[in-house]
Amino acid sequence: MKFSENWLRAYVNPELDSDRLAHALTMAGLEVEALETVAPPFDKVVVGEVLSLEKHPDADRLNVCRVDVGAGEPLQIVCGAANVHAGAKVPCALVGAQLPKMAIKQAKVRGVESSGMLCSESELGLAEESSGLLLLPADATVGQSIRDYLGLDDKLYTLKLTPNRSDCLSVTGVAREVAAVTGAALNLPNAVVVPASISDRIAVVVDEPVACPSYCGRVLKGLDAAATTPEWMARRLKRSGLRPISAVVDVTNYVLLELGQPLHAFDLAKIQGGISVRFARPGEQLELLNQQTAALDSDMLVIGDTHQALALAGVMGGQASAVSDATVDIFLESAFFSPDTIAGKARRLTLSTDSSYRFERGVDFAATRVALERATQLLLEICGGAAGEITEVIAELPQRTPIRLRVARVSQVLGIDLSAVQIVALLTRLQFNFAEDGGAFQVTPPSYRFDLSIEADLIEEMARLYGYDNIPALPPRGSLNMLAQSEAARGRDSLRALLTARDYQEVINYSFVDAAWERDIAGNDSPLSLKNPIASQMGVMRSTLFGGLIDNLCFNLNRKQERVRLFETGCCFTQSADGFIQPEKIAGLCYGNAKPEQWGEAVRGVDFYDAKADVEALFWPSVPRFESGSHPALHPGQSAKVWLEGEFIGWVGTLHPKWQQKYELPAAPVVFELNMAVLLRGRVPSFAEISKFQVVRRDIAVVVDEGVSVQDLLDGMSEHLPDAVTELKLFDVYRGKGIDLGKKSLAFRVLMQDTRQTLTDEEVDAVTAQLAEVLASRYGAKLRN
């Protein structure tokens, strides 16, 4: 939106200079994208009248002019412009004038004295180039400063409006905002009701009242379409970026800029029958004013007569009914089209017009008739003629529902205390209708404010008018209290630190994985699929961390890393009957040698028990229980479920040989995956008195069937464990010579200690016998000789 500052100040004139006014508009939400001067600075240029001229005695193309500048004696000025003539009124730069590109001095031109210079637009900096002098109207006052006469001390504002502020796509709309923001008096032009002086009218039928809720039109006859557009109007149009075309077109464009209401004039002689507002018919075409032939779609609203479409509603008129200098009678249209009907139609035809830009954002539906009256008034003043009665068709116009604005809510959202009295003052400046009701206001938005529908919109209005600059930037305040934390709770960082201390390195992988990983490693044939994956191999959500760790291992092996120990923490994703669940897990992978190569001990590859020891370290001081189990990713004979206090919490095991082969791994890594929530619970170590007496050790070696689990034996003995026993551990497993086929020998270490006395041999033997009896009676174990 571009407009002249002088035009704006004719309606509202706050006590702010141009820069401060631009800042006020910007801070009110109407960003001033550019502020530029109409003309560069110059002085001592006045309106001059050429009284007479004669040929220069020594130059064929020069004239010696006598010029009246309103200062007594005429000046003698040598001029070479082709369009100079006696009686012409032109800008005259006096001696001492400083023009944009030169300084004017007393001079001799080919021996003839010249006391000034007659100026063109380019010499005044008003145009890049010009073919002759700037000829002024005959009523220009001789001797008047040209800056005053042409209003060159004007500035041009260009607003970068947001789509919701269509009400400011007019000078009156911006004037309302300036008045509201600054509190200055608002003096908008009064719409004069033009009485009908002729009885001519055209029948109007609106077939689509939803698309066109309001349509007004009237006949004007006897116009002089070739009349000259007044200088003041042409000046305002040019400074708003529009080129003056003809009086009728210029008036419609002027009202568009002044009131924000697009208008269109049809040549009455080219209309057959009445006017109808309808959607385009199948296969219908329309030659637009820009000579483009548009193929109309069925959802495009047109203004037509009984034979054809005359205009594309809200976008552009048609060539067949265009007004020309020969036009005498016109039909002037002013309408309100719903934004949904107009939106996108111009872009579909690769067009962008001032009308469509406004209609698709919303125009003031209450100003339809007012704009028609204003245009009629201007046309009759400029072109003469007579006006007929207004034909008006109104359907259901948009409703402006009152919005409840709470005083307390305003203060809460803005962080400042605005009283009801202040809110009343701000609403009054906005010219909103409102009623106060016990700490709240019922505010009815005006017809031109399509952007106001909820309470938050009105709160924003309060902030704009109060001034964002006036809202203090207060630092946030809050009471900081130490939060209670359970002593048993463990942090994720402590788990990371523990694994790092055990020679692991942390990795972070995507939660999006290859569907093949889910089928192979998780046994998941229906993983959660992504609607828009970032890559084909990242199309599903992971349900296990194993896949990412194995991929990290392959990456490292391809770069000649022989010993790899990695861990990762992150969420996994599965679907349940109630929706989706995403448990957090921690997983690790060990590959290569158990320890870095050294001279102190023999090289040994990492195995199941190395990873099992790392898992046990994560649970300390709790003791997890391991139970053999089958997992799709793990070796069936080298995998175990991990339990803690009767709750299943994860897996540990060696990668299955078929996945080792598929992923081309020289050796099988050992992996584990645990539920993070259980690990974070922790356990507070309990105090136990340290005994001053010797520890007594006894070993129990038994032979049992191969299928008997060591864990079952430990569980059975633990159920009948006397208080004196402080430790019960397996320390040897033997199969071979001396042991029958299908049997195995297990040796357990039993440590006993009392805090009150030294244990006697009888007490120690009784405990050993009790444990041996449990093994024999429950599991068929036989003491090994």
Residue with tokens 């911006």: 174
Mean pLDDT of all residues in 699-704:
92
State how far the Cα of 309 lies from the Cα of 295, in Å rounded to an integer: 12
Residue 476 C-beta-side C-alpha neighbours within 13 Å: 3
Cis peptide before 657 (omega within 30 of 0): no
If asked whether residues 362 and 509 sit together in one domain, one would say: no
> Residue 368 pLDDT > 90, yes or no?
yes
Q: Report yes or no on 719 lying in a domain.
A: yes
User: Which pLDDT belongs to residue 127?
Assistant: 84
Whether residue 84 sits in one domain with residue 29: no
CA distance 254 to 256: 5
* Chain center to CA of 541: 27
What per-residue confidence (pLDDT) applies to 328?
95
DSSP string, 420-431: HHHHHHHHHHTT
Q: CA 654, CA 524: separation in Å to the nearest integer?
A: 19
The per-residue pLDDT for range 184-212, each reduced to its tens digit, is: 999 998 878 999 999 999 999 999 999 99
- 750-771: per-residue pLDDT in tens? 999 988 888 888 888 898 999 9
- Is residue 475 predicted with pLDDT exceeding 90? no
- One-letter amino acid at 429 equals R
Of 728, 718, 723, which Cα lies nearest the Cα of 753?
723
How many structural domains is the chain composed of?
6
Short-list 153, 138, 155, CA closest to 47:
138
Looking at the structure, tell me whether residues 93 and 234 fall in a common domain. no
Helix locations, 290-352, DSSP H: 339-342, 345-348
pLDDT for residue 298:
92
**Residue 553 above 90 pLDDT?**
yes
Indicate the SS3 state at residue 643: strand
737 CB neighbour count, 10 Å cutoff: 5
Q: Are residues 411 and 544 in the same domain?
A: no
Residue 359 belongs to some domain of the structure: yes
Q: 703-737, pLDDT tens digit by residue?
A: 999 888 888 888 888 887 888 888 899 999 999 88
Describe the chain by its helix, strand, coil percentages, rounded to 5.
Answer: 25, 30, 45
d(CA 304, CA 311): 7
Question: Is 679 in a helix, a strand, or coil?
Answer: helix
Average pLDDT over residues 217-223: 95
Residue 457 labelled as part of a binding site: yes
Percent of the chain past pLDDT 70, that is, above it, reads 100
Angle between helices 231-239 and 247-259 (to 10 degrees): 60
Backbone angles phi, psi at 731, to 5 degrees: -125, -5
Q: Look up the CATH number of the domain holding residue 251.
A: 3.50.40.10
Q: Are residues 144 and 162 both part of a single domain?
A: no
**Domain presence at residue 485:** no
| Cα–Cα distances in angstroms (integers) from residue 301 to residues 207, 214, 287, 665, in the given order | 10, 14, 15, 69
461 annotated as ligand-binding: yes
Q: Which residues contact 699 (CB under 8 A, 6 or more apart)?
A: 731, 747, 748, 749, 750
Of the three residues 368, 394, 420, the one that is the final residue of a domain is 394
Query: CATH number for the domain including 749?
Result: 3.30.70.380
DSSP code of residue 681: H
Rg (alpha carbons) of the chain, rounded to whole number? 47
Residue 604 amino acid letter = R
Mean pLDDT of 266-275: 93
Query: Could you report the per-residue pLDDT of 477-502, keeping only the tens digit for each?
Result: 888 888 887 777 788 999 999 999 99
Q: What is the pLDDT of residue 691?
A: 82
pLDDT in tens, 61-101: 899 999 999 888 899 999 989 899 999 999 999 999 999 98
Q: How far is C-alpha 196 from the chain's CA centre?
A: 52
Look at residues 503, 527, 746 and name the one whose alpha carbon lies nearest to residue 614.
Answer: 503
Considering the chain, what percentage of its residues have pLDDT values greater than 90? 69
- How deeply is 195 buried, as exposed, middle or buried, from its count of CB atoms within 10 A (0-12, 13-18, 19+)? exposed
Which one-letter amino acid corresponds to residue 88? Answer: A
- For residue 549, what pLDDT is reported? 95
Q: What is the CATH number of the domain that holds 168?
A: 3.30.56.10
Say if residue 318 is in the same domain as residue 418: no
Residues 362 and 226 in one domain: yes
For 483, other C-beta atoms within 10 Å of its C-beta total 5
Residue 598 has pLDDT above 90, yes or no: no
- Residue 503 makes CB contacts below 8 A (sequence gap 6+) with 565
Instruction: List pLDDT tens digits, range 235-260.
Output: 999 999 999 999 999 999 999 999 99
What rounded mean pLDDT belongs to the chain?
91
> Which amino acid is present at 567?
F
| Cα-based distances in Å from 585 to 451, 500, 595, 680 | 49, 17, 26, 11
Query: Residue 266: pLDDT above 90?
Result: yes
Q: Which residues pair with 285 in a beta bridge?
A: 295
Asked if residue 185 lies in contact with residue 14, where contact means CB atoms within 8 angstroms, the answer is no
Given 681, 707, 737, which residue is the final one in a domain? 681
Q: What is the pLDDT of residues 314-333, one digit of tens each?
A: 999 999 999 999 999 999 99
Report pTM: 0.66
Burial bucket for residue 363 (CB in 10 Å: 0-12, 13-18, 19+)? buried
Q: With 90 as the cut, is the pLDDT of residue 602 above it?
A: no
Provide the pLDDT for residue 65.
93
What's the rounded Cα separation, in Å, for the pair 555 and 557?
6
Kindly state whether residues 407 and 374 are assigned to the same domain.
no
- 96: domain CATH number? 2.40.50.140
Residue 330 has what pLDDT?
95
**Residue 58 pLDDT greater than 80, yes or no:** yes
Q: For residue 592, is it left (φ>0), alpha (ψ between -120 and 50) or beta?
A: left
Same domain, 104 and 217: no
| Closest by CA position to 615, among listed 547, 673, 564, 548 | 673
* Per-residue pLDDT at 464: 92
Question: Does residue 594 fall inside a structural domain?
Answer: yes
Which DSSP letter does residue 468 get?
G
Question: Once rounded to an integer, what is the mean pLDDT over residues 373-402?
Answer: 94
Q: Which of 650, 681, 712 is the last residue of a domain?
A: 681
Q: Is residue 481 part of a domain?
A: no
CATH of the domain at 650: 3.30.930.10
575 part of a folded domain: yes
**Domain-embedded: residue 198:** no
Same domain, 551 and 652: yes
The DSSP code sequence of 617-629 is: HHHTTS--EEEE-
**Is residue 469 part of an annotated ligand binding site?**
no
Residues 704 and 577 in one domain: no
Domain containing 59 equals 45-149
299 is in an annotated binding site: no
CB 732 within 8 A of CB 743: no
Whether residues 563 and 668 share a domain: the answer is yes
Q: Is residue 321 part of a domain?
A: yes
pLDDT, one tens digit per residue, over 610-646 is 999 999 999 888 888 888 889 999 999 899 999 998 8
Q: Judge whether residue 690 has pLDDT over 90.
A: no
The one-character DSSP state at 138 is T
Return the number of other C-beta atoms located less than 10 Å from residue 563's C-beta: 16
Burial of 656 per CB tally in 10 Å (0-12, 13-18, 19+): buried
Q: Tell how far CA 380 is from the center of its chain.
A: 48
State the Cα–Cα distance between residues 392 and 222, nearest whole angstrom. Answer: 22
End-to-end Cα separation, the chain, in angstroms? 104
